[in-house]
Structure 1
């Protein structure tokens, strides 16, 4: 028997042995199954079915959510592998267990393709994202120059800057911020957009700045319902960062500052609002919760830089913290603040400033 000779019906059934549930046409060919035999097996009422172009499901029943996800990835990876192997994508293999908890099988290789959009958010554990069986299409992220079309349950999303995929249940999945942007691009329901963005922050999946950067990159900030949701997102992120700051001061035994105050020179100009101020040590703490929105970012940063320079010229130490650092390493941030407070005795006395409630 040559490599191109079709297998008998018995080996064909052996391919769908409960572990190997999806194969490409090229993979079937390497097993000796001709294109004609594949078409025969995929006829209406037959034992197989073509789930996507060149992707065959090796059983007649409805595909599971896991099988659909793997099929979309196989479809998206197919062309890249074919170009690299002279038209044979036999290097791509996928074995999908019959049910969760089944026999562990090799992790498939999908090149640069990854799940994104609502399906990715569901895989990341978002309660506001719909369950996988209810999704008519699954978004798959690929490099911009890929020649691939949206078809069936696979919706192709292209990007010039491919992010690093996160492995979720053995699947390559876009990071939360990127998946959010791709999901929002397809949503017109303001409530759904608001719920997804809010859960991203409240659930600790990512910081508001990362989400807004991706929305800006996708040119979605011109949509009114997205702008409204982003305003709520930034406010939500700000409140959460302040809670973490209060907790850091309390749990790490730092002196209690005066919170959220304005500083002003006596009879002079307004110096700006600060998140925390230790008057005895002349130390200011500021949270960077900028939204990184188009040109606003440069303007806000320039204002912040001028304020910081002015305060430091007056002898006031400025400690700059980000919400992400407060979330990931509060003990280190507490040490930074404590060091600044302890160093106050070694500095020249700062200028006297008036502290006003903000």
Structure 2
């Protein structure tokens, strides 16, 4: 078979033995992805021997990963490397992206595809999600790909296999399945020893609105990364960053939705009695409090969670309504949270008066 020999037999050949495309071989790279698996090549009538011949030194094709071929000479593009890694790791064919869609930082609103069995993770995933503090795809020697733990795959070439007990739902970014930001961050941090890089990635995740601190800490905890001092330091800064952003949103909610001004950041005490707890906002006349939950679930914080629950129960027994708001609710449903607070303030007139408490600045 020469370069221009049609890869389809004559119409008289039985249909069961015909390949899938009547186009000649030289059109294959022009009309399809320029990265194909051995199985896809066979489906187009290209035998293993023909593939091997074309991948010889100086030939028009090259094998980029086991069973995955690049249908042109020269180095692969970033998009081709990503496709090759996914083709190597995935059991099922990848979804076809729109022709000519470049691989660029994107996807502030990624969509969820049908379940996949392999997805880009780590630094490459963060770059695809649009992180400015992650390296360019061209500078990455290895591309992390997340698969289930039971898969019998090995890292090779530009593909580095990352295993997990349960695959998360992937985001589709530029037509490729990509791990959600919290999971991609944990996989990236697992391979980083530079404290500054870890800090910048975690900070951008929160400051850029990609996800909430609690989701990141859950993934880092699950990956057993919170025993590394530079990761713990970065998480402490991350939580402080997340709290500052949540407080700013709370101030904006009160202002933009016309709620009466509360007293901000106060401690409550019983007259001559014990400390009742700290609150982010408090309306003394209505005995309504707002508490921002900016803590993240960490292995050493079970006691703090229990203490917080006891505080809220104590305040409610004293007749103080506690509105519990998470940063995510403030970010995604601020108007709804404002209505919750407004309803609590209006309902105060129908409740028994609350116990008298002393309000002190925090």
If the length of structure 2 is used for normalisation, what is the TM-score? 0.89
Provide the residue aligned with 2:3 in structure 1: none
SS in 2 for 1:332: helix
Provide the residue aligned with 1:138 in structure 2: 143
Could you list the per-position Cα deviations for residues 163-215 of structure 1 after superposition, in whole angstroms to 9, with x for gaps in the alignment?
A: 10011111111100000000000111110000000000000000000000000
Structure 1 position 299, deviation (Å): 1.5
Query: Which of 79, 82, 107 matches 1:69?
Result: 82
Indicate if the aligned counterparts of 2:325 and 2:337 stay in contact, CA closer than 8 A.
yes
SS in 1 for 2:304: helix
Distance change >3 Å, CA 263–CA 94, structure 1 → 2? closer
- Provide the C-alpha distance between the structure 2 equivalents of 1:17 and 1:302, rounded to a whole number of angstroms: 62
Q: Once superposed, which parts of structure 1, at least 4 consecutive aligned residues long, lie more than 4 Å away?
A: 1-6, 91-99
Provide the residue aligned with 1:191 in structure 2: 196
- Provide the C-alpha distance between the structure 1 equivalents of 2:338 and 2:98, rounded to a whole number of angstroms: 47
SS in 1 for 2:330: helix
Structure 1 position 109, deviation (Å): 9.0
1:121 aligns with 2:157: no
1:224 aligns with 2:229: yes
Could you list the per-position Cα deviations for residues 132-165 of structure 1 after superposition, in whole angstroms to 9, with x for gaps in the alignment?
A: 1111111111111011100111111111121100
SS in 1 for 2:24: helix
1:22 aligns with 2:35: yes
Distance change >3 Å, CA 275–CA 345, structure 1 → 2? same
Provide the residue aligned with 2:353 in structure 1: 349
Structure 1 position 100, deviation (Å): 3.7
- 1:44-55 alignment to 2 at 5 Å? 44-55=57-68
Could you list the per-position Cα deviations for residues 239-278 of structure 1 after superposition, in whole angstroms to 9, with x for gaps in the alignment?
A: 0000000000000000111101100000001101111110
If the length of structure 1 is used for normalisation, what is the TM-score? 0.90
1:318 aligns with 2:318: no
Structure 1 position 96, deviation (Å): 8.1
User: How many pairs are equivalent?
Assistant: 338
1:283 aligns with 2:288: yes
Structure 1: any 5+ residue segments left out of the alignment? 82-90, 102-107
Structure 2: any 5+ residue segments left out of the alignment? 1-8, 104-112
Could you list the per-position Cα deviations for residues 51-88 of structure 1 after superposition, in whole angstroms to 9, with x for gaps in the alignment?
A: 110000001121110111111100001xx34xxxxxxx
- Provide the C-alpha distance between the structure 2 equivalents of 1:299 and 1:28, rounded to a whole number of angstroms: 59
- Provide the C-alpha distance between the structure 2 equivalents of 1:174 and 1:49, rounded to a whole number of angstroms: 28
Query: Which of 56, 59, 71 matches 1:58?
Result: 71
Provide the residue aligned with 1:41 in structure 2: 54
Indicate if the aligned counterparts of 2:116 and 2:170 stay in contact, CA closer than 8 A.
no
Could you list the per-position Cα deviations for residues 76-109 of structure 1 after superposition, in whole angstroms to 9, with x for gaps in the alignment?
A: 01xx34xxxxxxxxx56767846749xxxxxx99
Structure 1 position 23, deviation (Å): 0.9
Could you list the per-position Cα deviations for residues 285-334 of structure 1 after superposition, in whole angstroms to 9, with x for gaps in the alignment?
A: 100111211141x2222101110111111111111000000000100000
SS in 2 for 1:274: strand
1:12 aligns with 2:16: no
Distance change >3 Å, CA 109–CA 96, structure 1 → 2? farther
SS in 2 for 1:253: coil
SS in 2 for 1:17: helix
- Provide the C-alpha distance between the structure 1 equivalents of 2:211 and 2:84, rounded to a whole number of angstroms: 28
- 1:301-312 alignment to 2 at 5 Å? 301-312=305-316
Indicate if the aligned counterparts of 1:19 and 1:98 stay in contact, CA closer than 8 A.
no
Structure 1 position 4, deviation (Å): 8.0
- Provide the C-alpha distance between the structure 2 equivalents of 1:268 and 1:111, rounded to a whole number of angstroms: 58
